[in-house]
């Protein structure tokens, strides 16, 4: 495992600091500066390949939308590719692709990002494109463009959720786990009625509030010199005026007063049960132990749920566990799809039993080592590309205020003990109120998991 990690680090252009034999450290040199308008610029110089990644994060996602205005953050991701004052309609894609580069954007509850990777001699073009839409998107916005992208997003919701097997269970779980006034109650994709009601003034107001340089950070990583990046950033981003001050969000963990159970009918063949517990936000001290718990319980073919329900009992079609920590709150979820003829109640009971065992005994040394190795391997592989490093730098800066937290982040997971895993299972899962959502074939509500006299 150590040799594999070293090879991945070398391929990613990451230096390894000498240190303890059991814990290699990463060195990702960065230079950070801030423009007068509040834009933070982070440069990572890496001449291992003649490419450069330009990665812009805006600290806004669906978690900063207002009730009745869901989906605006994601809608704006689409609008940002429709042309700006000096960039023609749909030309952003054309310019980058004709240069041999790649680009895209993504939105989640806590941030929206845009990125390009191009040959390093096209750095100036990539920065100009990002600056033009940051400063001059509204100059080119029209009702026609808004209507077009509104329909695109509505169709995306139909494709990925409404017409996808088990797709609506993801949306419904968020609604059940978080109260109506919590920003995670609604999905990032938004609601159809909110998207339909989105007016030009609503959209412009959203842009003016959140798409300002003082609510953004720019990472330039790859075959560049910091002095060149500073000069180009001042040239293209410097003239953009700062927006109004944006308050930083604070964690809003939730607590359920009692168990919540619901049945969702869908056009599916096999029934599925999802069980979700409120948990802590990202970067909380218990975040790494919850991740290790999820790994041991239900990630991969050696996990406890897979070994029991799929391999040994052959009762389930699939079984997984995950911990999702976000900026405001987190959740721990287990999802099991039953095989035909197996009840969801049986699946639910098995989940509680396996969680109870881990809470009482903890993971074995072999399980914990495997979980840690998997976490470290995934971490390093995420840094194998220039874009991967740029995105991680922006994530650290946006949520922690410091871009180079690679070693601190790794150290949190390396420090998890078996007792930590036992403790978080007891603290957040065993005997704690949770949501049980059964998704069953249409007209077969009797297949839903039934309330139990005793739950963990």
Query: Which residues form the catalytic set?
Result: 77
By C-alpha distance, which of 122, 158, 147, 261 is closest to 200?
Answer: 147
CB of 188 closer than 8 Å to CB of 72:
no
Residue 370's nearest CA partner among 437, 297, 318 is 297
- Report the candidate in 232, 253, 58 with the shortest Cα–Cα distance to residue 129: 232
Residue whose structure tokens are 């423009």: 35
Contacts of 180 (CB under 8 A, 6+ apart): 67
| Count of CA atoms in the C-beta half-sphere (13 A) of 237 | 31
The SS3 call for residue 319 is strand
Q: Quick one: which of 184, 221, 196, 171 has its CA closest to 69?
A: 196
- Answer yes or no: are the C-beta atoms of 355 and 344 closer than 8 Å: no
CA dist 125 and 147 (Å) reads: 29
- Cα gap 167→27, rounded to integer Å: 41
Can you tell me the distance from the alpha carbon of 421 to that of 293, in angstroms, rounded to the nearest whole number? 6
> Are the C-beta atoms of residues 183 and 63 closer than 8 Å to each other?
yes
Distance of alpha carbon 181 from the chain centroid: 21
Tokens 């109120």, residue located? 433
CB-based contacts of 162, cutoff 8 Å, min separation 6: 168
d(CA 413, CA 200): 46
The DSSP H or E segment spanning 115 is strand 112-119
Q: How far apart are CA 332 and CA 440, in angstroms?
A: 22
How far does CA 74 lie from the centroid of its chain?
14
Q: How many CA atoms lie within 13 A of 449 on its CB side?
A: 30
Judging by beta carbons within 10 Å of its beta carbon (0-12, 13-18, 19+), is residue 133 exposed, middle or buried? buried
At 32 the three-state DSSP class reads: strand
């Amino acid at each position: 495992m150590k040799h594999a990690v070293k090879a991945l680090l070398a391929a990613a252009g990451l230096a390894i600091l000498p240190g303890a034999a059991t814990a290699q450290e990463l060195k990702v040199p960065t230079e950070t500066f801030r423009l007068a308008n509040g834009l933070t610029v982070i440069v990572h110089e890496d001449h291992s390949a003649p490419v450069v990644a330009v990665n812009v994060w805006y600290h806004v996602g669906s978690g900063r939308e207002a009730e009745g205005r869901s989906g605006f953050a994601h809608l704006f991701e689409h609008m940002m590719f429709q042309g700006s004052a000096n960039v023609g309609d749909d030309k952003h894609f054309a310019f980058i692709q004709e240069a041999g580069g790649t680009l895209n954007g993504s939105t989640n509850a806590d941030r929206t990002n845009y990125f390009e990777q191009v040959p390093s001699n096209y750095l100036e073009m990539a920065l100009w494109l990002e600056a033009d839409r940051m400063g001059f998107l509204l100059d080119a916005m029209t009702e026609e463009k808004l209507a077009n992208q509104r329909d695109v997003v509505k169709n995306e919701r139909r494709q990925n959720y409404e017409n996808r097997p088990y797709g609506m269970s993801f949306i419904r779980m968020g609604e059940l786990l978080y109260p109506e006034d919590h920003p995670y109650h609604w999905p990032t994709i938004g609601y159809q009625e909110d998207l339909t009601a989105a007016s030009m003034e609503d959209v412009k107001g959203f842009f003016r509030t959140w798409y300002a340089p003082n609510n953004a950070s720019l990472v330039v990583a790859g075959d560049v010199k910091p002095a060149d990046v500073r000069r180009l950033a001042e040239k293209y981003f410097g003239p953009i005026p700062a927006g109004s001050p944006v308050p930083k969000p604070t964690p809003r963990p939730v607590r359920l007063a009692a168990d919540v159970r619901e049945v969702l009918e869908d056009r599916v063949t096999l029934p599925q049960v999802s069980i979700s517990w409120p948990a802590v936000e990202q970067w909380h001290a218990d975040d790494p132990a919850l991740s290790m718990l999820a790994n041991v319980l239900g990630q991969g073919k050696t996990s406890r749920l897979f070994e029991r329900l799929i391999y040994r009992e052959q009762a389930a079609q699939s079984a997984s566990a995950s911990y999702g920590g976000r900026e405001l709150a987190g959740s721990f979820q287990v999802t099991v799809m039953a095989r035909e003829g197996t009840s969801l109640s049986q699946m639910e009971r098995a989940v509680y039993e396996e969680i109870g065992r881990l809470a009482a005994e903890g993971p074995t040394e072999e399980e914990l080592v495997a979980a840690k190795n998997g976490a470290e391997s995934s971490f390093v592989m995420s840094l194998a590309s220039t874009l991967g490093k740029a995105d991680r730098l922006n994530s650290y800066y946006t949520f922690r205020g410091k871009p180079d937290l690679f070693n601190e982040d790794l150290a949190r997971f390396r420090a998890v003990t078996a007792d930590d895993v036992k403790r978080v299972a007891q603290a957040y899962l065993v005997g704690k109120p949770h949501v049980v959502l059964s998704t069953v074939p249409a007209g077969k509500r009797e297949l839903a998991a039934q309330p139990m006299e005793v739950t963990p």
